[in-house]
Amino acid sequence: MTKPVVAIVGRPNVGKSTIFNRIVGERVAIVEDMPGVTRDRIYSKGEWLNREFNLIDTGGIELGDEPLLVQMRAQAELAIKEADVIIFIVNGREGITGADQEVAKLLFRSDKPVVLGVNKIDNPDMQEELYEFYSLGMDTPYPISGSHGLGLGDLLDDVIKHFPDEEEDPYDEDTIRISLIGRPNVGKSSIVNAMLGEERVIVSNIPGTTRDAIDTPFTQDDQDYVLIDTAGMRKRGKVYEATEKYSVLRSLKAIERSNVVLVVINAEEGLIEQDKKIAGYAHEAGRAVVIVVNKWDAVAKDDKTMKNFETKLREELLFLTYAPILFVSAKTKQRLHTVLPMVKKVSENHHLRVPTNVLNDMIMDAVAMNPTPTDKGKRLKINYVTQVAVEPPTFVFFVNEPELMHFSYERFLENRLRATFDFEGTPIKIFARKKNA
């Protein structure tokens, strides 16, 4: 189900990013320290009282050379459009500024729930500074300190009270949900239209649970699918055209509702940084992934062009080595017939469960081929392996000392799992746990 979206808004230098990092904790750091994973994040997952949500740091949305006030207003407008709840941060030591009042007016007109956090209130003696902020017209101002983590609990208690009710999933569990993500103008809508054989995106218009997504259910070869298309959006003016980062916010919600994500890349332009960022979110969400290179008909080719393009993609997207690459043209329908069979295959791999006895036999064979590593005279011993989840396949290795499971050996084990059981198109998670005595 789609998680609620919370946005942090406020003028510069009020501590938005510090509070963002406090709320998401260690989650803001990408777990896999691999080349090709971009690090400048405006989004991460947060959790409070067992309620998960997506958190946006609007301070990370830059609009080139625009003046500061224009940027600030644009960031607030983005938050208003995308968020279910807005955290409005002001600086308690500086009092209310004209910029604070500008942001407050925008938020007040939005009709979205707004929770006011007065930052940099580091000690009880400063509580009197709060009264001034009632004049902004918000409900209770919460005294907080991002740098010390004070008061955030009360603020988040209020935030989660405003979360929308969880919606029922309208599709049964055998339906494969497919989202198409990518930068604007890579041809997502064209692929949807061509796959459906229709001149329009909407076949049966079921509003998605995400704003601005169009769900298109259809059946092929007795398999039910839903296409979650985020491409056919209304134009929203210069603010949204000016920031490539906005396409990330659009993609996040579609990814969450998907089983399989089609990462669409424009063959004429090749891979750019924004493509890597969007693909990284699909990977981190643990979804099955297929890379679709569209507009292949428009590329001048010889017998090495496809191979060279694929090699470059693999070098740039090292965290997606498992994802198949399809070269298609929505315009000419070249190789478009290969997309759905691949979607079905990677979805099956995403759900694949390996019997425990088969899994352990395979791991023991792998260890015999490449013995476990040693560190300071101690050797890693794998006692037992079990698969604890699917979507994505997740394996727990019970070992004598988890810290002896080096990254390189974990990668070797993952490669052996992939070679034995396929797993094309799906990430695999591996955890080492200490075996109880």
Can you give the CATH number for the domain in which 390 is found? 3.30.300.20
Using pLDDT thresholds of 50, 70 and 90, give the confidence band for residue 417. Answer: very high
Q: Are 257 and 395 in a shared domain?
A: no
Q: Across the chain, what does the average pLDDT equal? A: 82
Residue scoring higher pLDDT (3 or 287): 287
Using pLDDT thresholds of 50, 70 and 90, give the confidence band for residue 229. Answer: low
Q: Give the pLDDT of residue 111.
A: 84
Max avg pLDDT among 90-94, 164-168, 301-305, 389-393: 389-393
Q: Which domain holds residue 186?
A: 176-350
Looking at residue 285, its amino acid is A
- The answer to the question of whether 193 is labelled as a binding residue is no
Q: Are 308 and 198 in a shared domain?
A: yes
Q: Are 225 and 254 in a shared domain?
A: yes
This prediction's pTM: 0.74
Using pLDDT thresholds of 50, 70 and 90, give the confidence band for residue 247. Answer: low
- The answer to the question of whether 296 is labelled as a binding residue is yes
Three-class SS of residue 241?
A: helix
- The answer to the question of whether 329 is labelled as a binding residue is no
Q: Are 15 and 98 in a shared domain?
A: yes
The backbone torsions φ and ψ at residue 56, rounded to the nearest 5 degrees and listed phi first, read -110, 130
Q: What CATH number should be reported for the domain holding residue 280? A: 3.40.50.300
- The answer to the question of whether 208 is labelled as a binding residue is no
- The answer to the question of whether 172 is labelled as a binding residue is no
Whether residue 257 is predicted with pLDDT greater than 80 in this model: the reply is yes
- The answer to the question of whether 48 is labelled as a binding residue is no
Using pLDDT thresholds of 50, 70 and 90, give the confidence band for residue 43. Answer: confident
Q: How many domains does the chain have?
A: 3
Question: Is position 316 within any domain?
Answer: yes
Using pLDDT thresholds of 50, 70 and 90, give the confidence band for residue 108. Answer: confident
- The answer to the question of whether 187 is labelled as a binding residue is yes
Contacts of 122 (CB under 8 A, 6+ apart): 145, 147, 148, 150
Q: Give the pLDDT of residue 289.
A: 97
Rounded distance between C-alpha atoms, residue 24 and residue 19, angstroms: 9
Q: Are 346 and 375 in a shared domain?
A: no
Q: Are 146 and 265 in a shared domain?
A: no
CB–CB of 430/397 below 8 Å?
Answer: yes
Query: Residue 115 is inside which H or E element, if any?
Result: strand 114-119
Would you give the distance in Å from CA 229 to the centre of its chain?
16
Rounded distance between C-alpha atoms, residue 47 and residue 99, angstroms: 30
- The answer to the question of whether 301 is labelled as a binding residue is no
Q: Give the pLDDT of residue 222.
A: 87
Would you give the distance in Å from CA 21 to the centre of its chain?
17
Last residue of a domain, one of 298, 319, 350: 350
Question: Is position 387 within any domain?
Answer: yes
Residue scoring higher pLDDT (164 or 48): 48
- The answer to the question of whether 422 is labelled as a binding residue is no
